Structure 1
Amino acid sequence: MYRDHSVGVVLPAYNEEGFVGDVIREMPAFVDRIYAVDDCSTDGTWEEMRTAAAADAVDRDDPGPDEDELDYDERLVTDGGGSALTRRASVGEPIGRVLPIRHHENRGAGGAIKTGYLAALRDGRDATVTVDADGQMDLSRMSTLLDPIVDGEAEYAKGNRLLYREYRQDMPRFRFLGNSILTFLTKVASGYWKTMDPQNGYTAISGYALENVGVEDMYEYYGYCNDLLVKLNAKGMRVADVAIPAIYGEETSSISYPTYIRRVSWMLFKNFCWRLGAKYLVLDFHPLAFFYVFGTATTAIAVVCSLWTAYVTVAHGAALFVRASLSLLLLLVGSLFLMFAMLFDMQVNESKEVQIRE
């Protein structure tokens, strides 16, 4: 328990042998349940998870498992296979405070987080933290993430590494550029304009938010955290952006950034359209939705007209001053409508953002 709030930690792992055991053993004492999700790893991640869980149980004087519990994966708990959790994973007997969960097939980072969230929902945790299994997250700072949740300042808290100069300097330029692009796109899509580093997987969410954000429909690729921010905003949830540095060692990233940026950008565009309709037309009404639509349509027409004008000019040598001027005017009008829409969006969501600095 942390300040009278039950705490669960979702620990997704895919081929994290050599790292995941240390993360389990170093988990803060106030964590009540660790949902260790093996995303169908091909190395020794599953065995290391269970061995570390047994060691953690001994250190905490929890009822430890028998030796044969570590040898047989058949000792699984199901509820008839009817729930969303057991349809996607096998849930083992708890080993101390660790609940080992094994995916039937590889589902990706977001899929593993979703499975852990479903388990936390089933258990009714007051707050649920997500921690990567590669050891890059400072577990001693977990209370900093939980404080805004416990204090009632926010329903969701996420780490922000971009406030630390050493992190920005050590990041490869292409990765930094990709992170910056996705940060801006997530601001637009989610409506949380002050939030940075949306790819950070060190997060905490309240039980209330977890119940109302639609976990079963959560995006299962690496952009799950960006997707979750959009859904939180549509529900009017408050988000805390918390300064927390990362810890780097020998671990390597398995993300293909060209694929990652392309897929997540498309997902954010679809989520942005959904948020405008859900938040500003269905759940409530605000004219900024029409500003966005009109500005986007006008800008798109201006770009098409400009390209056509350039083509005709080059192909036929014609001076199309009037058409070029009209294209420029349309582009100006469209840009102004988009800027007004963004300004209105910032004003509407300003009270939904909390920034916590050191």
Structure 2
Amino acid sequence: MYEDKTVAVVVPAYNEEAFVGGVIDTVPDFVDRVYAVDDCSTDDTWAEITARADDDRERVGALVDGAGEVDVADDADGRQVESDGGVANGPRVVPIRHRRNRGVGAAIKTGYCAARDDGMDVTAVMAGDGQMDPAMLERVVEPVVDGRADYAKGDRLSYPEYRGEMSGWRSFGNWLLTYLTKVASGYWGVVDPQNGYTAISLRALEAVDVEDVYDDYGFANALLVRLNVAGMRVADVAMPAVYGDEESHIRYATFVPKLSALLAHNFLWRLKTKYLVRDCHPLAFLYGLGAVGTGAGLVAALRRGGDSEGASDDGNDGTSDAATRTLVGLLTLALATIFDRLDDEDLHVREEP
């Protein structure tokens, strides 16, 4: 426990036989439960996970076929093993295995649901590839334990000394996704939103429909959108970037465009749900009006530029009208952004180094 709060750690892993065992071994002692989730690896990841299960318990794994559907495996003697229903009496390491590969987000969701069902006060995520320094876990969970935030996440970008190991291409991709996630989520103060070193409160897990969040890389970005609609406070925790011998499964050339489309969809979902369905707020109207105005102005400019007739009979080539429409549209979008920032300015805190 940490300051009288139960703490769990989800360890999602896919083909991480060389690292996942070490990650589980180095989880700090204050953690009450470790949900190690093998996303149907093709190597010995599952063997490494089950080998770390508590020696005083039968080493049992749950095969998860889909959200909320759990088959409890037989133990070595063929007996059905059921949950003991309590953190104090239960195993510290809980091995869970997906029947099919579903993505890192799905693995985290499986761990989140297990922690929520067990009533864990705070649930953190430590990737199975060893990139996350276990010594930083205390700093990540502390804002959630203290009640300053419902969700805490790492921030490698705000301080130059902390992003020193990050390549130029990776840094560019992270900054681009940071801006896009700010717009999509409404957390305009958040930096490095795709950072996977996170901690979430039981309150947030119960308020957000976790099972409906995106399954693959980009889960952390999409989750922020859901947290914003639920009114949850988010904390940025400064930490250095750490890269070891592991090989990243992310390919930024395809990941960035794919996640950008996902964030655009989530942005529209947030506006609809937060400002139209749950409330009647002018912000959604301003965003719509700004987008229409800007688009209409740009289309008018393109059409005028392709008009072979040149100027119209009254001497006006239409350029000024197109420019005016575009400018008014952009100003309306800027106004909508200001209202968006003001509406959520109390939902972000920053934990300095």
TM-score by length of 2: 0.90
- In structure 1, the residue matched to 2:21 is 21
- In structure 2, the residue matched to 1:176 is 171
Given that 1:138 and 1:245 are in contact with CA atoms closer than 8 Å, whether structure 2 keeps it comes out as no
Q: Write out per-residue CA displacement over residues 234-268 of structure 1, whole angstroms, 9 at most, x where no aligned residue.
A: 01111111112232211111112122112211111
Instruction: Give the structure with the larger helix fraction.
Output: 1
Alpha carbons of structure 1 residues 218 and 20: separation in structure 2 relative to 1, 3 Å: same
Helix, strand or coil at the partner of 1:170 = coil
Residue 313 (structure 2) pairs with residue 318 (structure 1): no
Q: Write out per-residue CA displacement over residues 79-121 of structure 1, whole angstroms, 9 at most, x where no aligned residue.
A: 9x8971417x979879941110010100111111111111111
**Alpha-carbon deviation of 1:281?**
1.9
Given that 2:62 and 2:95 are in contact with CA atoms closer than 8 Å, whether structure 1 keeps it comes out as no
- In structure 2, the residue matched to 1:277 is 272
- In structure 2, the residue matched to 1:72 is none
**Percent same amino acid at aligned positions?**
50
**In 1, Cα distance between the equivalents of 2:73 and 2:9?**
18
**Alpha-carbon deviation of 1:175?**
2.3
**In 2, Cα distance between the equivalents of 1:200 and 1:265?**
16
Alpha carbons of structure 1 residues 141 and 76: separation in structure 2 relative to 1, 3 Å: closer
Residue 218 (structure 2) pairs with residue 223 (structure 1): yes
Given that 1:157 and 1:240 are in contact with CA atoms closer than 8 Å, whether structure 2 keeps it comes out as yes
Alpha carbons of structure 1 residues 331 and 272: separation in structure 2 relative to 1, 3 Å: same
- In structure 2, the residue matched to 1:163 is 158
**Alpha-carbon deviation of 1:168?**
3.5
Helix, strand or coil at the partner of 1:128 = strand
Given that 1:85 and 1:118 are in contact with CA atoms closer than 8 Å, whether structure 2 keeps it comes out as no
**In 2, Cα distance between the equivalents of 1:204 and 1:211?**
14
Letter in 2 for 1:23: V
Name stretches of at least 5 consecutive residues in structure 2 with no aligned partner: 76-80, 84-89
- In structure 2, the residue matched to 1:291 is 286
- In structure 1, the residue matched to 2:68 is 84
**In 1, Cα distance between the equivalents of 2:163 and 2:145?**
30
2:348 paired residue among 345, 348, 353: 353
Residue 98 (structure 2) pairs with residue 103 (structure 1): yes
Alpha carbons of structure 1 residues 8 and 275: separation in structure 2 relative to 1, 3 Å: same
Helix, strand or coil at the partner of 1:322 = coil
Moved over 6 A (4+): 89-95
**In 1, Cα distance between the equivalents of 2:319 and 2:122?**
57
Given that 1:85 and 1:119 are in contact with CA atoms closer than 8 Å, whether structure 2 keeps it comes out as no
Alpha carbons of structure 1 residues 290 and 90: separation in structure 2 relative to 1, 3 Å: farther
The count of residues paired between Structure 1 and Structure 2 equals 338
2:201 paired residue among 206, 231, 240: 206
- In structure 2, the residue matched to 1:47 is 47
Residue 251 (structure 2) pairs with residue 259 (structure 1): no
1:338 paired residue among 329, 333, 337: 333
**In 1, Cα distance between the equivalents of 2:166 and 2:309?**
47
Q: Provide the alpha-carbon RMSD of the alignment.
A: 2.3
Name stretches of at least 5 consecutive residues in structure 1 with no aligned partner: 70-74
**In 2, Cα distance between the equivalents of 1:197 and 1:328?**
35
Given that 2:127 and 2:196 are in contact with CA atoms closer than 8 Å, whether structure 1 keeps it comes out as yes
**In 1, Cα distance between the equivalents of 2:299 and 2:74?**
54
**In 2, Cα distance between the equivalents of 1:146 and 1:284?**
32
**Alpha-carbon deviation of 1:76?**
4.8
Helix, strand or coil at the partner of 1:113 = helix
Tell me which moved more, 333-342 or 280-289. Answer: 280-289
Letter in 2 for 1:243: A
- In structure 1, the residue matched to 2:240 is 245
TM-score by length of 1: 0.88
**In 2, Cα distance between the equivalents of 1:116 and 1:101?**
8
Given that 1:91 and 1:102 are in contact with CA atoms closer than 8 Å, whether structure 2 keeps it comes out as no
Helix, strand or coil at the partner of 1:240 = strand
Letter in 1 for 2:35: Y
Tell me which moved more, 97-106 or 321-330. Answer: 321-330
- In structure 1, the residue matched to 2:148 is 153
Helix, strand or coil at the partner of 2:318 = helix
**In 2, Cα distance between the equivalents of 1:144 and 1:6?**
15
Alpha carbons of structure 1 residues 222 and 163: separation in structure 2 relative to 1, 3 Å: same
**In 2, Cα distance between the equivalents of 1:29 and 1:41?**
27
**Alpha-carbon deviation of 1:163?**
2.3
**In 1, Cα distance between the equivalents of 2:135 and 2:247?**
22
Tell me which moved more, 159-168 or 131-140. Answer: 159-168
